[in-house]
Structure 1
Amino acid sequence: MLNRNNISLTRAAFSGMIALFLAGGAFANPVDQSIAIEKQVTAASAKSQQKVDRFAEKTLELSAEYKNTLRIIESLKIYNNSLENIIASQEKEMLSIQNQMDTIDTTERGVIPLMNEMIASLDKFVQLDLPFKAEERKNRVEALKNNMLRADISNSEKYRKILEAYQTEISYGESIDSYKDKIQTSAGEKQVDFLRFGRVLLVYLTLDGQNAGYYNPDSGQFEALDNEYIRSIEVAIKMANKQAAPELIKLPVPAAKGAN
């Protein structure tokens, strides 16, 4: 049996153990709190670092966007300067065009009478010239006169046609030509071969090769030629048609007149 003393010792030991356990628990509680606080600090620090990282990343993005915006602004400045130069050039061109348009009426008032005068001079020249290709040349002059009455042809085109006609007439004085046409004789109208030496001489040969003649500027008529010229005219016609090599030929040339 346990006596009272043993029971007392047992109770004392148990009480000591409980006290020690309670003391140990009291000592362990601050450590846990410290650990918990440290964990909270670490977690808060991690969150704070994440925020810092996000802010840093956003700052880099904004910086890049800002730099890109500056480049765009600089590019727009260059583009605007270019547009300003283009607009200034166009304004000068518009001013020049406007000035030209302002003088069009005055120019046309001077050009139209000039063109009419040129056509009249050409018409008179054709009438006084050797009568070669007379119908063709008269029709060309009439076409120029008709052009002056047409509103669907610009003045520049009318002027170009007149210059073209003048150039054609000039070319006649620098060439030799052979062509077929009709001539009025005492026996009636005949088809003949004409031969033109510039504007110096116009002769003809009948198709049968039996008769020849020339245009006499003094009388304004075609007159007969001696038979001795027939062979020369035949050769000259072949030369004009590039059917024979050039050679010396004998033809009657009217004497030149002095200017009045």
Structure 2
Amino acid sequence: MTSGMFTTWFLPGIWITIQVLLYSAALAAVVSFVVGILRTSDVWIVRFLSGAYFEIFRGTSALVMMFWMVFAVPTLLNLQFVPMFAGVLALGLTYGAYGSEIVRGALAAVAPAQREAGIALSFTKMQRLRRVEIPQAWPEMVPPFNNLLIELLKGTALVSTITVADMLFAANLIRIVDVESAPIYTLILVLYFVIAFALTRGMRALERQAKAGIGQKPEKKGGLLSRRLNPTGMSTEARSHGAGGAA
């Protein structure tokens, strides 16, 4: 890959991929919270409509949704979508449906005593959500949101099929000119990994901050390698407890 191709095609493609990720993630976040909260409503018609949205977008393909918006909507509704807008809309609505289940589940996991405390303080439904339930549920949402964000990053590659010039689209153009697949696709894999790794580190920092906000201690780093084992394979903590019990 020549420097001219890299500057002309590939660098703009990386920026377009990042833009698609940011725009679709922002849309998915809004959809996640709105639909997730509506699915906990006391009004059955609201729960039904929000649940129908969740089931429809969970059961359809984001790629087919992009094709439908670009090729079917102009015929059906006489409305033409710009390809990038159609890609962002399809990804945001689809992954927002998945995110709504994360929000709904986290809110349902909040202890009933927390809601009862809000009721005792004469909070309205929205005040309880904003001041009590969402702050308690937010730390539980961050890890699954992290996974969903990584899946969304990988899903941005789908926009290349509707002629959005992301980095995969640029890579295919360069491959046609250079006729070398291995270097360009290896570079694509590395770039997706680097972006995903950066997103993961940022989300873990956000998770630590969220837990600290409600008084939870952050998880200690290390894992199995941080545990000191004696020759019998028992950790020092377990051995000390065993010695105490024997005494």
* Structure 2 length-normalised TM: 0.19
Higher relative contact order structure (alpha carbons within 8 Å, sequence separation ≥ 6) = 2
- Normalized per residue, the structure richer in strand is 1
Larger Rg: 1
**Structure richer in helix, relative to its length:** 2
